[in-house]
Amino acid sequence: MPAKSRSALPLAFIDTNILLYAHDRQAGAKQARAAQLLTTLWESRTGVLSSQILQEFFVNVVRKLTPPLAIPQAREIVRTYGTWIRHPTGPEEIIRASEIIEIAGFSFWDSLVVAAAEKSGAALLYSEDLQHGQRIAGMLIQNPFSDPS
């Protein structure tokens, strides 16, 4: 059974794209929805992520956003969300990612996200890149931008 947070709500793993949208002033409704989701997870202490997510976030916000974030600002965001890392990514997660590749046919990087989310005890994986509603490794994938109807 997935680990529970202190609030007894299920843990939710955040993929890079959700974190990026929350800090992209050009993302419109996606920015608002991503920021709202992160605030909810922060307040309930149920948000989790991995060092891979923070690495991808940093590179993208200082190089690809328009306008890009300043490095010191990006560094502070990484420092803040670093508290959401519950387990370091190691060889076990890489091996598990290779198994997920075989099970689900995901890319290595997406499989490593799933492996890290699984290791963290997350029940939910928020991602725009993976199939909404799919279950993998005991987690439900949810796209927070999908139409609820």
Sorted by sequence, the CB contacts under 8 Å of residue 73 that are 6+ apart come out as: none
Q: Percent of the chain beyond pLDDT 90?
A: 91
- The pLDDT of 89-93, averaged and rounded, is 95
What is the per-residue pLDDT across 42-86, written as a single tens digit (0 to 9) for each? 999 999 999 999 999 999 999 999 999 999 999 999 999 999 999
DSSP conformational letter for 14? E
pTM of the model as a whole: 0.90
Residue 149 pLDDT > 50, yes or no? no
- CATH class (in words) of the domain with range 12-142: alpha beta
Question: Is residue 1 very low, low, confident or very high in pLDDT (cuts 50, 70, 90)?
Answer: very low
Higher model confidence: residue 7 or residue 145? 145
pLDDT score, position 8: 73
Q: Is the peptide bond before 88 cis (omega within 30 degrees of 0)?
A: no
Q: Average of pLDDT values for 139-143? A: 96
Q: What does the block give as tokens for 118?
A: 């699984």
For the chain, give every domain's residue range: 12-142
pLDDT at 5 over 70: no
Q: What is the mean pLDDT of the chain?
A: 93
